[in-house]
Amino acid sequence: MHVTYWLEHAWLDTFVEPGVAVDVTDGRITAVRKDVTAPPPGAEVLRGLTLPGLANAHSHAFHRALRSTVQVGSGTFWTWREVMYGVASRLTPDTYFDLARAVYAEMALAGVSAVGEFHYLHHAPGGTPYAEPNTMGEALIAAAADAGIRITLLDTAYLASGFGTPPTRHQQRFSDGTADAWAERASLLKDSDHARIGAAIHSVRAVPADQLATVAAWAQTRMAPLHVHLSEQTAENDACLATHGCTPTRLLADHGVLGPRTTGVHNTHLTDEDIALLGGTSTGTCMCPTTERDLADGIGPATRLQKAGSTLSLGSDSHAVIDLLEEARAMELNERLRSRTRGHWTAASLLRAASADGHEALGWRDAGRIEAGAPADLTTIALDSVRTAGPLPRLGAETAVFAASACDVRHTIVAGRHIVRDGVHTSIPDVPGAMAKAITAVYK
């Protein structure tokens, strides 16, 4: 199938270009033509600023059911976690599919074309495996297909509640018992056109040190992405030091976990040595600013990590909001608050973190670019909304990052196919209704 899209304005990695024609055949870009001043005959017109599809590199789909509910009262990350466990305990394969389908549709409405799902809700309540061991993971893969976006299922090893302690009652759903058993189950999952299978270590507190290498080897053998929550909380750092005499980053390094296909999620509370280890091994960093601020985690050293050699990506994590433009904006503005200086990243570099670099972290290495050979994944942002009207179109990258929001996404195209057209999901027209119904079912 062949289609031509005419982009009124397009961000082509560095600059905003007016009048760009993008030829697509069988879901891939075959040509990008600049200086096309009017739509070619038969072309589909995308008015506004078109970016590559955005990559949400860190998601826990079921956390979307916590939105607003966890804002009642105060508390800490650890009290928030208890509420999260309550939601996890109620989910079935059917209700998880319905919820994830709505969540991924919300992502599509926000311009997201690929998601990294950090998946650890593997078994039935009490830890009993389903007859089909990957029923819950397959529900997520099917939900992404229905919502029209790509998914990297980061199947997560989660074996302990803390250093030397077994899973709690709620965490029994997460645990395969050993890393070898996790690997055996995860090996049953297969890639497809819209899905890639990766691995994750939930955290150093959730996978015993002597089993970290098993997960790392599984990912290495398959050349698959490997993600890990890293130093999100100081309590984890303190417990790791008490148990192993080193930081979580050093523990991961000593067991072969770090490397260019590995991404540390959060990387908030790091030592100078930690930063050097992550950068020196080309381990990536996924920042999730809206969740990190919501949970009062702190502000990670993103500028220092990037300078050390750690590529940055972005995720909406707990889905306090789903807006990759806000994640990009928040990373820069958080750093401004901390440093009391401005301009740590250009708008273009922030957009790369939200697109090409996020796709790279998820194993979609040719995605996140508007160029020949790349998947035809596009996101168009209105330049005439109340938020974006006024600036010159050549400042479209700055407008996207520092003024626009998910509400300004007009079109989302994945593999050359319109998933969102004029702000409406093409296969799930009533995403709010689907979301409300799915969340109500979880709390019944």
Which residues are identified as catalytic?
Answer: 266, 317
Cβ atoms of residues 151 and 117 within 8 Å: yes
Cβ atoms of residues 265 and 288 within 8 Å: yes
> How far is it, in rounded angstroms, from Cα 415 to Cα 374?
9
DSSP letter at 395 equals G
Can you give the three-state secondary structure of 377-393, one letter per residue? CEEEECCCCCCCCCCCH
Beta-bridged to residue 23, according to DSSP, are: 4, 31
> How far is it, in rounded angstroms, from Cα 244 to Cα 293?
29
> How far is it, in rounded angstroms, from Cα 8 to Cα 53?
16
DSSP letter at 320 equals S
400, 316, 272: which is closest to 60 by C-alpha? 316
List the end-to-end C-alpha distance of the chain, in Å, as a whole number.
45
What number of other Cβ atoms are within 10 A of residue 31's Cβ? 12
User: Which residue in this structure is represented by tokens 């090996």?
Assistant: 187
Tokens encoding 107:
């992502």
Cβ-count burial of 83 within 10 angstroms (0-12 exposed, 13-18 middle, 19+ buried)? middle
> How far is it, in rounded angstroms, from Cα 22 to Cα 395?
21
DSSP letter at 162 equals B
Tokens encoding 263:
């991404």
Cβ-count burial of 42 within 10 angstroms (0-12 exposed, 13-18 middle, 19+ buried)? exposed
Give me the sign of the Cα torsion angle 322, 137, 122, 227.
negative
